[in-house]
Amino acid sequence: MSQTTVWILNDPSAGYLRMLEQLPDAAHIVAGKTEEAFAGAPAPDAVMCGMGQGQLLEALWPRARDARWVHSLAAGLENVLFPALAESTVEMTNSKGVFGRSLGEFAIAAALYFAKDFRRMIRNQQAGLWKPYDMEELTGKTFGIAGYGGIGREAARRAKALDMKVVAMRRNPGQTGDDPHVDEVCGTEDVAGFLARCDYVVVAIPNTPETRGMIGENELRAMKATSVLINVGRGPVIVEAALIRALEQGWIRGAALDVFDEEPLPEGHTFYRLDNVLLSPHCADHTPGWVEEAMECFLDNCQRFLRGEKLLNRVDKRAGY
C-alpha cells in the first residue's frame, strides 16, 4: 500500500505530537519547525500547520502547493492564510468548535463579574470594609452574540440556562435553524442597531478584511451606558482607540477582553489601568488538555482523509473562516 505523506509544521519535541502514533502506517509523518526539516521529504499530500507556524507554511508552499488538504491546529486563520493558499483549490480545515466550551464559560464569567461587581467586592475585602451594595441579576437581560459559530452557541447555551434573552448576529441568519438557545437572529446589516439592544455583548467574530473594524465609534456610541462588551474573537474586530474612549468616557459600563490588536499587550497599555476592564492575556481557552483536544480534531480528520471521507470543519479560505 502506498503511503500518504503528512507534513506536521510544529515543534517535533512537543509532547502532544505523540498522539500521531494513533495514525495508521498508511500515514508517513514528517515533522519539523524549520524549512530544513523538510528539505529531503517527499512532497506532502496533507499539511498540519501548528500554532504560530503560518510563516513556515508560506515558505514551504512552493513544495506543498499540490497537497490536497491543509489543516490549521488553531481556529483563527488570519496568521495562516496567505494569498497563494487562499486562491488555491486545496481543501482547508481548522479547529473551530474545540474551544467553544471554555470561551462560552468565560463569557458568562465576565457577565457575572460585572453584574455582581466582583472588583468592588474584592477591593472592599482587601481594605477590610463591610459595605453592602446592590447587585444586578442576569435573569431577563439581553445577551447579544456577534458571530454565532461554535463559541457563540456554547455561550448562548449557558446564557439561556440563566434565563437571559439571547439575540445572535451572523452573516447568514438562515444557518441558525431552530436553535433552542437563541430567541432572535439578525444579519450584519445594522451592527449599531444590534448592539443598542443588548445588555451584554459577546464578540466571537474572526479577523478578516470584512470584519476588521466592524465595531467602531458609531457602534460603541449606540450601546447602552450600562452595557458590557466581551471580546473572545479577535482584537482587530473592535477599533481599539474607540473602545478606549468608550471605556474612559463612560459610553459603556465595561469590557472583558481576551484578545487584542497587539499580543502580548505592551507594557503600560491603557487597558491595564482601567478599572472597568477585565483583562485576560488570550488564555480564556487554555484549559488542561486544550492542545490535545485540537490534536484530536486533526487526528479525526486525518483518519477521514486517509479513508477518502468528507472532512469536518471545512473553512471558506476566501472568507477567512
Q: Rounded to an integer, what distance in angstroms lies between the CA atom of residue 223 and that of residue 3?
A: 56
> Can you give the length of the chain in residues?
321
Beta bridge partners of 48: 8, 71
Amino acid sitting at position 260: F
Q: Quote the cell numbers at residue 245.
A: 474612549
Which of 35, 87, 262, 263 is an active site residue? 263
- The verdict on whether 263 is a catalytic residue reads yes
Which of 234, 240, 253, 293 is an active site residue? 234
**Listed residue (164, 166, 137, 138) closest to 152, CA to CA:** 166
Which letter does DSSP use for residue 257 in this model? E
- The verdict on whether 282 is a catalytic residue reads yes
- Residue 181 · residue 157 · CB < 8 Å: yes
What is the bridge-based pairing of β-strands 91-93 and 142-146?
A: unpaired
Beta bridge partners of 167: 144, 184
- The verdict on whether 28 is a catalytic residue reads no
Taking the chain, what is the end-to-end CA distance rounded to the nearest angstrom?
35
Which of 282, 296, 304, 314 is an active site residue? 282
**Listed residue (267, 272, 253) closest to 113, CA to CA:** 253
Q: Rounded to an integer, what distance in angstroms lies between the CA atom of residue 13 and that of residue 143?
A: 43
The DSSP code sequence of 102-148 is HHHHHHHHHHHHHHTTHHHHHHHHHHT----------TT-EEEEES-
Q: Rounded to an integer, what distance in angstroms lies between the CA atom of residue 177 and that of residue 199?
A: 24
- Beta-carbon contacts of residue 77 (< 8 Å; ≥ 6 apart): 92, 94, 206, 315, 317, 320, 321
At 19, give phi and psi (nearest 5°). -65, -20
Supply the residues annotated as catalytic: 234, 263, 282
